[in-house]
């Protein structure tokens, strides 16, 4: 296991994050029981993993409770980088039981601290955009929690790029704590974040931690051609799409899955490892969500090898998306010729890493 800096902070986190959305007993709607959850946790620790991701709403709070118990039993709380989220409604029927507001934020953090059996949270994510709470309220509230010592760093998950940009720009101007990381869905199947979210993250120095890196299971190898010799693969994929509601799998998605399988077989690896390494080699810290020991071992084995430049290029091509306006327009030959005067290819557009004033880090 290697470690990476989280955004513009000095925090060192493992190159994979363990997602604990699956941690929970049957009545908590989790995918694995407490014993299995503990085994997954221990396996991640054994290889040097220290970055663990949960949320207040995962399995009704059971995920946090189990994780808190596991960490407490090690007597090494300081070793872990514990990330949790707020915004999920923990009191159905109560309009203030969730959302991005300061009230939701404070009551959620207090609940998470109790379930996690800790007096501070390493990284607090704003889970989803509620579209009504002002950015000022969110960022000032998060800054106050950082100043209180209850949270150390903040991140943002599942928000539009313009909201994150406004938030970090405001934090910079107000000398508030900025976001250091972005959590989004990103995979060979879902590359639309490349239009706005990933360029924004790069511009602000945010580390990206993708979820659903296997495209909802499509890239796990379960739906490969060889597993459906009778030709009923499309029917099984239709069932998968129905379970995920918003997702549709067509010729493009099947072509991607087949390309992943081809590269996996050529390397003697698994489709899961190929899909995971593509995301990892894009400079992200993937969140692995597993419910079985075989799955976590397969995921961790991806760290032992890399895709070649040629293999990355092949996967890039088969999964390519249209960036749309204004991106495609600005990259067109006519625009380059008109606005760069024939010098486009002579200009190095790579900026140095932004300098962060020490005064902005002082608290």
Active site residues: 58
Q: Do the beta carbons of residue 180 and residue 154 sit within 8 Å?
A: yes
Q: What is the 3-state secondary structure (H, E, C) of the chain?
A: CCEEECCCCCCEEECCEEECCCECCHHHCCCECHHHHHHHHHHHHHCCCCEEECCCCHHHHHHHHHHHHHHHHHCCHHHCEEEEEECCCCCCCCCCCCCCCHHHHHHHHHHHHHHHCCCCEEEEEECCCCCCCCHHHHHHHHHHHHHHCCEEEEEEECCCHHHHHHHHHHHHHHCCCCEEEEEEECCCCCCHHHCCHHHHHHHHCCEEEEECCCHHHHHHCCCCHHHCCCCCHHHHHHHHHHHHCCCCCCHHHHHHHHHHHHHHHHHCCCHHHHHHHHHHCCCCCCEEECCCHHHHHHHHHHHHCCCCHHHHHHHHHHCCCCCCCCHHHHCCHHHHHHHHCCCHHHCCCCCCCCCCCHHHHCC
Q: How far is CA 85 from CA 205, 210, 356, in A?
A: 21, 15, 26
Q: How far apart are CA 293 and CA 303, in angstroms?
A: 16
């Amino acid at each position: 296991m290697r470690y990476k800096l989280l955004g513009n902070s000095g925090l060192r986190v493992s190159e994979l994050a363990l997602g604990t959305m699956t941690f929970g007993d049957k009545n908590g709607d989790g995918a694995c029981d407490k014993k299995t959850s503990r085994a997954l946790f221990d396996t991640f620790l054994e290889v040097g993993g220290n970055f663990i991701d949960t949320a207040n709403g995962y399995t009704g709070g059971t995920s946090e409770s189990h994780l808190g118990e596991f960490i407490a039993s090690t007597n090494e709380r300081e070793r872990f980088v514990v990330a949790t989220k707020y915004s999920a409604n923990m009191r159905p029927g109560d309009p203030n039981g969730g959302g991005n507001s300061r009230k939701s934020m404070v009551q959620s953090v207090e609940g998470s601290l109790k379930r996690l059996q800790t007096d501070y949270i390493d990284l607090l994510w704003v889970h989803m955009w509620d579209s009504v709470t002002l950015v000022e309220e969110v960022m000032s509230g998060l800054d106050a929690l950082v100043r209180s010592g209850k949270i150390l760093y903040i991140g943002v998950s599942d928000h539009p790029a313009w909201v994150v940009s406004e938030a970090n720009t405001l934090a910079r101007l107000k000398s508030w704590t900025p976001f250091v990381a972005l959590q989004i869905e990103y995979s060979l199947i879902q590359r639309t974040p490349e239009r706005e979210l990933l360029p924004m993250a790069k511009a602000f120095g945010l580390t990206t931690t993708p979820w659903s890196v296997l495209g909802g299971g499509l890239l796990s190898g379960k739906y490969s051609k060889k597993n459906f010799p009778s030709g009923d693969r499309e029917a099984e994929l239709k069932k998968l799409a129905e379970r995920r509601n918003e997702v549709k799998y067509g010729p493009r998605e099947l072509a991607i899955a087949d390309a992943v399988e081809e590269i996996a077989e050529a390397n003697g690896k698994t489709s899961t490892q190929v899909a995971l390494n593509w995301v990892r080699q894009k400079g992200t810290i993937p969140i692995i969500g597993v419910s079985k020991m075989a799955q976590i071992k397969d995921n961790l084995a991806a760290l032992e090898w890399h895709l070649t430049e040629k293999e990355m290029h092949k996967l890039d091509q088969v999964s390519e998306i249209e960036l749309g306006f204004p991106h495609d327009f600005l990259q067109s030959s006519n625009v380059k010729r008109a606005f760069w005067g024939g010098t486009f290819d002579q200009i190095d557009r790579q900026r140095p890493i932004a300098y962060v004033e020490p005064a902005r880090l002082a608290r």
